[in-house]
Structure 1
Amino acid sequence: MITPPTRRKRATIHDVAIEAGVSRGTVSRVVNGERYVSLEAREAIESAIKKVGYVPNTAARNLVMQRTQAIGFIVHEPHSLFVDDPNIGNILLGANETLSEADYQLVCLVVDSERDTDRITRYLSGGFVDGVIMVSARENDPITRVIERLSLPATFVGHPPDLHELPFVGIDNRAAAAGITRELVQAGRQRIGMIAAALDRDSGSDRLAGFRDALGERFDEHRVVDVPLYSFRDGFDGMTELLEREPLIDGVFAASDAVAAGALDALRSAGRRVPQDVSVVGFDDSAWALRCHPPLTTVHQPAAAVGRRAAEVMLAQLRGEAVEIDGALVPTSIVRRSSV
């Protein structure tokens, strides 16, 4: 039988004061970053803190301040996509970089079911975070309604059509999609289709709108296949269906790089060569783009920069500063490789 380890007693300010030979008030002033402490006393206290292993009780301080120093990072996507989608990870890392510099913790919350929605609703209502960064919110998203009801400081990555009076950060998906579609037109492709993903989100619907803008009168609804997620599997299934609808398809805009990777696999299985027979473009410039054979022409989406900007807007709200609710758009660019 294993005996549980004895929990070590937590060092206190009193322990530091005895070791340093000063009052507890003097230790408290040093710990809280206040001035008016002599250099000699400060050095003695800092040495004592290291010796006794004192760690400030931030939970108690935050309780007094009514702050948690934590920001919720909410992703409304299936668990599998949260792991596989490099953009989500890069947005998270960018946000975490900015928040950590301001001494805030990032708490990751994934919404994959109604049970998750109920759990996160209780968590937010319990005051466990000072604000939230919300990724992939849908129209009529129940978490958005909770954020509004609680008047919780929030920044959205993306812009659901029913988002009111809450700031958002993102990219111009519509213009970027039009630009990448024109790469197919300029390559001389005549039968251009799209694997349109995630149309219940603004990113998906805006990319389809940009595709339509670029083609104008050449747009053919029959050449658009709608799939649920920005995933490899959906890309494969979408391309398979697109080939059944239009066997002579010669240009494809896949709504993400992961979708494009699946499309390339389906084209290979059908004996179609890229780019000789079919040109394929993606969106994101993620790790998927370079894993593909051939490497993808795609839209570079600066996901980490989007995350950093979302965190900056969040911190501004926590400081009580006014922020624009019309959106902060981060520029994109086209990266040309050998899939066109």
Structure 2
Amino acid sequence: MSTTSGRPRRATVHDVAVVAGVSRGTISRYVNGDPYVSASAREAIEAAIAEVGYVPNTAARHLVMQRTESVAFIVHEPHSLFVEDPNIGGILLGANAALSEADHQMAVLIVDSERDTDRVARYLSGGSVDGAIIVSARANDPVARVVEKLKIPAAFVGHPPGASSAAFVVIDNRGSARAITSRLLETGRRRVGMIAAALDRDSGSDRLAGFTDALGDRFDPGLIEPVPLYSYSAGRDGMTALLERAPDIDGVFAASDAVAAGAMEALRAAGRRVPIDVGVVGFDDSAWARRTLPALSTVRQPAEGLGRQAAALVLAQLRGEAAPGEMLLDCEIVWRESA
């Protein structure tokens, strides 16, 4: 099949009908999954589709159905951290697996600036997706407000303050942080500090709260170093600042594995041995935890499970089912040589 311009002409339903020897209506029923198509007609249609190279016009089908069969995966992080943080990748893969099993597509949207916020808001408002999975939302997150205003079926990974969406997939950040800090204290550490990342979102603030719980009367606010991101460089800079302020520090809880890896670099540069001089623990059990020397003690969170469950909650809402208010997934402590 060709045109005068030399470009191949796209095969149509009419072409399939001619080759298969059936009506266009039968072709339409087959393409739309209608069970009332005979086995012989189905076989003829499939052979004709292969012969003429017909590809169904999904855009037209979606227009009729008023569905795109696409779900947005929205990450409110800098572009560099999207690549650096293995947890985001794990959440994305879990979500994509669940959506793929349901024959839905994923549209990945990264929010790194106010301009990105405006762009993503316009994209969502245009009806380009049926639902949204939102990762790393901050308190009063503007994209989260857009999603809620448009009443798009959505699920948050985490539970940002002020979000009123019906669906959240979470882990017990506070309890897990308390547990691993307590384990660190049991090794005999006396001056334990924290590199507290991402305090503008629930995961960061909850991990700080868990650390504070574990220290109790021994809590020293001077041993807290806030950093903006769950990143290697933030951990390195945060540890450097802590050492300058408290050179006698002998234990550190880093709010993520990437932060812990950066902290261990700063400790080595300062001539401090891990774990002999300073015990270090992290959070995530990501690839960072297995790259460090010594291997990092940490909290294992189910990144792919978070993504898979978030996608399942969105798909349930698209089927008209009520989503649970909050789904809690378990974590566990993985104890290695760093502490």
The alignment's TM-score, normalised by the length of structure 2, stands at 0.97
Instruction: Letter of the 2:286 partner, please give it.
Output: S
Please list, as runs of the form range in 1=range in 2, the aligned pairs for 1:56-71 lying within 5 A after superposition: 56-71=56-71
How big is the shift at 1:115?
0.5
Instruction: Tell me which residue corresponds to 1:138.
Output: 138
How big is the shift at 1:131?
0.8
Instruction: Letter of the 2:337 partner, please give it.
Output: S
Instruction: Tell me which residue corresponds to 2:250.
Output: 250
Q: What secondary structure, in the 3-state scheme, does the structure 2 residue paired with 1:225 have?
A: strand
Partners of 2:222 and 2:100 in 1: CA distance: 48
Distance 1:275-1:32 versus aligned 2 partners, 3 A rule: same
Please list, as runs of the form range in 1=range in 2, the aligned pairs for 1:180-219 lying within 5 A after superposition: 180-219=180-219
Partners of 2:39 and 2:146 in 1: CA distance: 50
Q: What secondary structure, in the 3-state scheme, does the structure 2 residue paired with 1:144 have?
A: helix
- 1:338 aligned onto 2:337: yes
Instruction: Tell me which residue corresponds to 1:236.
Output: 236
Instruction: Tell me which residue corresponds to 2:89.
Output: 89
Instruction: Tell me which residue corresponds to 1:100.
Output: 100
Partners of 2:319 and 2:38 in 1: CA distance: 31
Tell me if the contact between 2:166 and 2:323 (Cα under 8 Å) persists in the aligned partners: no
Partners of 2:30 and 2:257 in 1: CA distance: 52
Instruction: Tell me which residue corresponds to 1:12.
Output: 12
Partners of 1:224 and 1:252 in 2: CA distance: 10
Instruction: Tell me which residue corresponds to 1:75.
Output: 75
Instruction: Letter of the 1:337 partner, please give it.
Output: R
Instruction: Letter of the 1:334 partner, please give it.
Output: I
Partners of 1:6 and 1:336 in 2: CA distance: 65
Partners of 1:269 and 1:255 in 2: CA distance: 21
How big is the shift at 1:37?
2.7
Partners of 2:244 and 2:188 in 1: CA distance: 22
Task: Give per-residue Cα distances to partners, 1:138-163, cap 9 Å, x unaligned.
Answer: 11111111112111111011111101
Please list, as runs of the form range in 1=range in 2, the aligned pairs for 1:120-159 lying within 5 A after superposition: 120-159=120-159
Partners of 1:298 and 1:254 in 2: CA distance: 9
Instruction: Tell me which residue corresponds to 1:160.
Output: 160
Instruction: Letter of the 1:115 partner, please give it.
Output: R
Instruction: Tell me which residue corresponds to 1:328.
Output: 327
The alignment's TM-score, normalised by the length of structure 1, stands at 0.97
Task: Give per-residue Cα distances to partners, 1:27-59, cap 9 Å, x unaligned.
Answer: 222222223333222211111111111111111
Please list, as runs of the form range in 1=range in 2, the aligned pairs for 1:17-36 lying within 5 A after superposition: 17-36=17-36
Instruction: Letter of the 2:47 partner, please give it.
Output: S
Partners of 1:114 and 1:66 in 2: CA distance: 30
Tell me if the contact between 2:10 and 2:54 (Cα under 8 Å) persists in the aligned partners: yes
Q: What secondary structure, in the 3-state scheme, does the structure 2 residue paired with 1:324 have?
A: coil
Partners of 1:173 and 1:16 in 2: CA distance: 56
Partners of 1:35 and 1:171 in 2: CA distance: 42
Q: What secondary structure, in the 3-state scheme, does the structure 1 residue paired with 2:47 have?
A: helix
Task: Give per-residue Cα distances to partners, 1:89-114, cap 9 Å, x unaligned.
Answer: 11000000001111110000000001
Instruction: Letter of the 1:278 partner, please give it.
Output: V
How big is the shift at 1:324?
1.6
Instruction: Letter of the 1:312 partner, please give it.
Output: A
Partners of 1:194 and 1:6 in 2: CA distance: 66
Instruction: Letter of the 2:99 partner, please give it.
Output: L
Partners of 1:30 and 1:316 in 2: CA distance: 26
Q: What secondary structure, in the 3-state scheme, does the structure 2 residue paired with 1:252 have?
A: strand
Q: What secondary structure, in the 3-state scheme, does the structure 1 residue paired with 2:213 have?
A: helix
Partners of 2:30 and 2:125 in 1: CA distance: 35
How big is the shift at 1:248?
0.9
How big is the shift at 1:166?
2.9
Partners of 1:35 and 1:172 in 2: CA distance: 46
Distance 1:109-1:6 versus aligned 2 partners, 3 A rule: farther
Q: What secondary structure, in the 3-state scheme, does the structure 2 residue paired with 1:121 have?
A: helix
Partners of 1:250 and 1:152 in 2: CA distance: 48
Task: Give per-residue Cα distances to partners, 1:235-256, cap 9 Å, x unaligned.
Answer: 0000001111110111000000
Partners of 2:28 and 2:158 in 1: CA distance: 44
Partners of 1:196 and 1:8 in 2: CA distance: 59
Q: What secondary structure, in the 3-state scheme, does the structure 1 residue paired with 2:314 have?
A: helix
Q: What secondary structure, in the 3-state scheme, does the structure 2 residue paired with 1:129 have?
A: coil
Bigger drift between 175-184 and 5-14 goes to 5-14
Tell me if the contact between 2:155 and 2:165 (Cα under 8 Å) persists in the aligned partners: no
Partners of 2:304 and 2:7 in 1: CA distance: 40
Task: Report the RMSD for the aligned CA atoms in angstroms.
Answer: 1.0
Partners of 1:37 and 1:225 in 2: CA distance: 67
Instruction: Tell me which residue corresponds to 2:51.
Output: 51
